[in-house]
Structure 1
Amino acid sequence: MEFMEGRSILVTGAAGFLAKIFIEKILRVQPNVKRLYLLLRARDSNSAMLRFDTEIMSKDLFRVLKEKHGGYLNSLISQKIRVVAGDITCEDLGVKDSLLLEEMIKEVDVVVNLAANTNFDERYDISIGINTMGAKHVLNFAKRCEKLKVLLHVSTAYVCGEKEGLILEKGYKMGETLNGARGLDIDAEKKLIDDTLKSLKAENCSDDLIKSKMKDLGIQRARRYGWPNTYVFTKAMGEMLLGHLKNEMPVVIIRPTIVTSTYKEPFPGWAEGIRTIDSLAVGYGKGRITCFLGNPNTIIDVIPADMVVNAMMVAMAAHSNQSDETIYHVGSSVANPLEYASLQDYGQRYFQKHPWINKEGKPVIVGNVKVLNSMESFQRYLAIHYLLPLKGLEMVNKACCQYFQDRYLDMCRKIKFVLRLVELYGPYLFFKGYFDDMNTEKLRRAAAQVGEEVESGTFCFDPKIINWEDYFINVHIPGVVKYVLK
């Protein structure tokens, strides 16, 4: 891609899943990039460099790049990459080296904000610091960049909350809420956090209690205004700040849906961390899930990570020097919908053919999962199959043999695990929305007309080409088992 040749690009959240794929892709397809400034949360440059070596370059993701460049790779890295110690929760991105900060202000052409805290129930103070105020600090820094062509911010499609029907690629106005409730004010939310923390500390609350209270506060505030969890609420507020404060700056917001392992590049199936749907597949494979809640006909919108990165790169080039804000949904629910029942089927078929080997070295034999389509039927099933047996085991646990004690503990773990997944992911297993991707489709067509390889080549981000059965059974689930579960 010619746009990136000779450019200097700042990447925040550089140790994240998408960021690593983005970095690898640029170095592999456009080694003539001028420089990549990689912002990593760290105390100093030595700590940042250690994170770069251990959390980025040591990953198997970079093996194709290493094979391509061989002994020259270290030279390429030293020429093209500048590791920056910083923190987007602070002004000036927390960069303490004033000379480096001035260099970045003079040199950076593109800012890519990939820093985020994706925990659904993170502490409210932490989540708002990164996802909301972090977006503001990145914007303020981008405004100071003398050569800036575009700011690209990665959000999430699920800032829509639990909306139904066609969800448009449109932004949020300051103070806009999903349920019509009035009074959403980001400064007031920050003051509420500060006052709550001050009050808890004045009462000499333990760190664990403060953590719990801050998590509860995040969920309460999110639901007050119509969002299901702290993550999507704070990401929505981050979008609000960008739209409100950007002035004439070219801003692109990428909203991926559920991001899965790589489809094609640098090789199929690379994954990192247990993502939303993987929690269900892994729990099933390990024998921890025999029933779950959900509508088998619900569309689960997933998109491979390399397609998200390709869309980011094409969007960067398309919006260079344009004084607008454009939002792109990068997903599959319109172009190539995937039903929850199919996803469940793929997981069962994979783990029945390739069973998980437990700590004792024995294969975990899995059967069918009973999917219940209402909370009432789910609670009834739990009571009959788990809670009543558990009550009986509890009575004999202390007096009986090790077998009953083990069964008691195992059932406790299973119930806790399933309830936790239901709490976090329940809203998405009955999700009735699908994501309009008209802007993304226009971007694909425009890029194809100017010769970019977006159909099935280097910069493809078209979900229509994916065969979900082949992808999940032969690429994604094996990738999760190999790279995440090891």
Structure 2
Amino acid sequence: MSSVSAYYNGKTVLITGATGFMGKVLVEKLLRSSPDVKAVYILVRPKAGQSMQERVANMLKCKVFDRVREDCPNFHEKIKPINAELTQPKLAISAEDEEELLTRVNIVFHCAATVRFDEPLKHALQLNAMGTQRLLELARQMQNLEAFIHISTAYANCVRKCIDEVIYPPPAEPKKLFDLVEWLDESIIQDITPKLLGDWPNTYTYTKALSEYLIQQEKGNLNIAIIRPSIVGASWHEPFPGWIDSFNGTSGIFVAAGKGILRTVIANNEAVADMIPVDVAINLTLAAGWFTAVHRMMKIINRLHKSMMLLQYFSTQSWDWSSDNMNMLMSHLNTEDKKLYNFDVRQLHWSEYIESYCLGAKKYLLNEDMAGIPAAKQHLRKLRNIRYAFNTTLLVIIWRIFIARSQMARNIWYFVVSLCYKFLSYFRASSTLRH
């Protein structure tokens, strides 16, 4: 019997960001591995002209839920959507919904965040940092809360080469920064953003660093775990290999390269490609939730294996992260849990995973027929041959224009031709002697 699965059975869980990539996989794995979970509350806001109910309905139609749909056709009955907005005071939750959450929730998974690197600083702060602060305020009032799990990023402290499992000093005092962006004009905030970011490459990593510090300062008596995954990619095994539904991260690069649109990426061949399958990240998250609740730890910060970042800042550098807490957590799992909640990335066969990743992008992102793979390979071969032909033609033109006109080049050319002629003559003479 899995200890982790048994823990979640009978529990009431609150998840933010459930309609996102990692959130969907978290909801699916939780419902599939712990079928007796009492309820899963998800905070959802209207977006892009869709109401909360429409967004939840579209989420539940997603292919990622096919496995749990087969085992439990009524799984959707355990999902309880709550209309909420992280950027608003008190999360804009109704008094009735708030009372329900305060009296019933046992564990919180905070996955919601904007992952756009070019997000304006004010909006990134409102969602990633201030939203986390507001959720903490709600969590501290929950009467039966056993653990609060926050999804951060391995790059929250990317300004350091060696990153330990600790909370580092923030790049700025969060509350002062919140006050600053509240009264400053948007254009002024935009102008001073580079100065505020300092060595941080973008607003995403910057606000994630602030969020970790806020959690440390305002956790109160909560049992907190912070998960630091690197760039999250397609699934390794669960719910099936290669599942992906977002063009973010490496997925967009794989698709663009596969379609022949992207031919060049600025990178460092000596740097480590930091990428982690989404199911590995979610398995670790659920295992950390169990451990944090059962062992009542005040702080456990985990990070996953390294991954590849898209931007030049990340693709040309490497970092060293310690993983003692993750290894400790693995040692506490029994044999069944290690199978059911596998986050031992050492077992990952990377070439098979990348192949599965690319096929998953074709199947789930592009919705293309897998029978078209031979044609796609032929298309890529044509693009490669066109590139080779273009490069060869360009070299010939350069030779004719800039090199062939010089006397030295002609002498070299005559010398090469002479050698070839002598070699052919020798070859013919040798052949005649053998005959």
Larger Rg computed on CA atoms: 2
1:130-178 C-alpha deviation (Å, 9 max, x unpaired): 11011111111110000000000000000112422x32111123xx34x
The reply to whether residue 26 of structure 1 matches residue 30 of structure 2 is: yes
Q: CA deviation at 1:22?
A: 0.7
Which of 216, 220, 224 aligns to 1:243? It is: 216
Which of 2, 8, 15 aligns to 1:4? It is: 8
Secondary structure (helix, strand or coil) at the match of 1:278 reads helix
1:451-484 C-alpha deviation (Å, 9 max, x unpaired): 4422xx22100100111111102x1011112211
Which of 351, 359, 365 aligns to 1:478? It is: 359
Q: Distance in 1 between matches of 2:272 and 2:41?
A: 38
Equivalence for 2:343: 461
CA 1:245–1:472 in 2, change beyond 3 Å: closer, same or farther?
same
Secondary structure (helix, strand or coil) at the match of 1:320 reads helix
Q: Distance in 1 between matches of 2:190 and 2:346?
A: 39
Q: CA deviation at 1:240?
A: 0.7
Q: CA deviation at 1:221?
A: 1.9
Equivalence for 1:151: 148
Write the letter of the residue equivalent to 2:167: G
1:188-230 C-alpha deviation (Å, 9 max, x unpaired): 3223323332xx5xxxxxxxxx5xx7556544421x2x21110
Equivalence for 1:115: 112
Q: Distance in 2 between matches of 1:259 and 1:142?
A: 27
1:298-318 C-alpha deviation (Å, 9 max, x unpaired): 101211101111111111111
Equivalence for 1:57: 60
Q: Distance in 1 between matches of 2:87 and 2:28?
A: 26
Secondary structure (helix, strand or coil) at the match of 1:67 reads helix
CA 1:160–1:288 in 2, change beyond 3 Å: closer, same or farther?
same
Equivalence for 1:416: none
Contact 2:60 2:76 in 1 (8 A): no
Equivalence for 2:85: 87
Secondary structure (helix, strand or coil) at the match of 1:131 reads helix
Q: CA deviation at 1:447?
A: 1.2
Write the letter of the residue equivalent to 1:139: L
Equivalence for 2:403: none
Which of 187, 190, 194 aligns to 2:182? It is: 194
Secondary structure (helix, strand or coil) at the match of 1:37 reads strand
Secondary structure (helix, strand or coil) at the match of 1:453 reads helix
1:385-396 equivalent positions in 2, closer than 5 A = none
CA 1:20–1:214 in 2, change beyond 3 Å: closer, same or farther?
farther
Any gaps of 5 or more consecutive residues in structure 1? 178-183, 201-209, 334-339, 341-420
Write the letter of the residue equivalent to 1:266: P
Equivalence for 2:320: 434
The reply to whether residue 327 of structure 1 matches residue 315 of structure 2 is: no
Q: Distance in 1 between matches of 2:183 and 2:86?
A: 22
1:303-382 equivalent positions in 2, closer than 5 A = 303-320=276-293, 322-332=296-306
Equivalence for 1:292: 265
Task: Provide the aligned C-alpha RMSD in A.
Answer: 2.0
Q: Distance in 2 between matches of 1:195 and 1:99?
A: 32
Q: Distance in 1 between matches of 2:106 and 2:215?
A: 18
Any gaps of 5 or more consecutive residues in structure 2? 368-435
1:355-410 C-alpha deviation (Å, 9 max, x unpaired): xxxxxxxxxxxxxxxxxxxxxxxxxxxxxxxxxxxxxxxxxxxxxxxxxxxxxxxx
Secondary structure (helix, strand or coil) at the match of 1:292 reads coil
Contact 2:133 2:215 in 1 (8 A): yes
Scaled by the length of structure 2, what TM-score is found?
A: 0.79
Secondary structure (helix, strand or coil) at the match of 2:340 reads coil
Write the letter of the residue equivalent to 2:93: V
Equivalence for 1:170: 166
1:274-300 C-alpha deviation (Å, 9 max, x unpaired): 232233322322323333321112101
Q: CA deviation at 1:5?
A: 1.1
1:263-282 equivalent positions in 2, closer than 5 A = 263-282=236-255
Write the letter of the residue equivalent to 2:328: K
Q: CA deviation at 1:323?
A: 4.7
CA 1:36–1:219 in 2, change beyond 3 Å: closer, same or farther?
farther
Q: Distance in 2 between matches of 1:292 and 1:66?
A: 40
Equivalence for 2:76: 77
Equivalence for 2:397: none
Q: Distance in 1 between matches of 2:122 and 2:232?
A: 25
Matched positions, count? 360
Q: Distance in 1 between matches of 2:145 and 2:359?
A: 41
The percent identity for this pair of structures is 28
Q: Distance in 1 between matches of 2:195 and 2:360?
A: 36
Secondary structure (helix, strand or coil) at the match of 1:293 reads coil
Write the letter of the residue equivalent to 1:62: F
Q: Distance in 1 between matches of 2:232 and 2:130?
A: 24
Write the letter of the residue equivalent to 2:79: I
Q: CA deviation at 1:325?
A: 1.2
CA 1:47–1:221 in 2, change beyond 3 Å: closer, same or farther?
same
Write the letter of the residue equivalent to 2:363: K
Q: CA deviation at 1:332?
A: 4.4
Q: Distance in 2 between matches of 1:162 and 1:191?
A: 25
Equivalence for 1:443: 329
Q: CA deviation at 1:254?
A: 0.4
Contact 1:121 1:218 in 2 (8 A): no
Contact 2:159 2:200 in 1 (8 A): yes
Contact 1:163 1:432 in 2 (8 A): no
Q: Distance in 1 between matches of 2:168 and 2:96?
A: 37
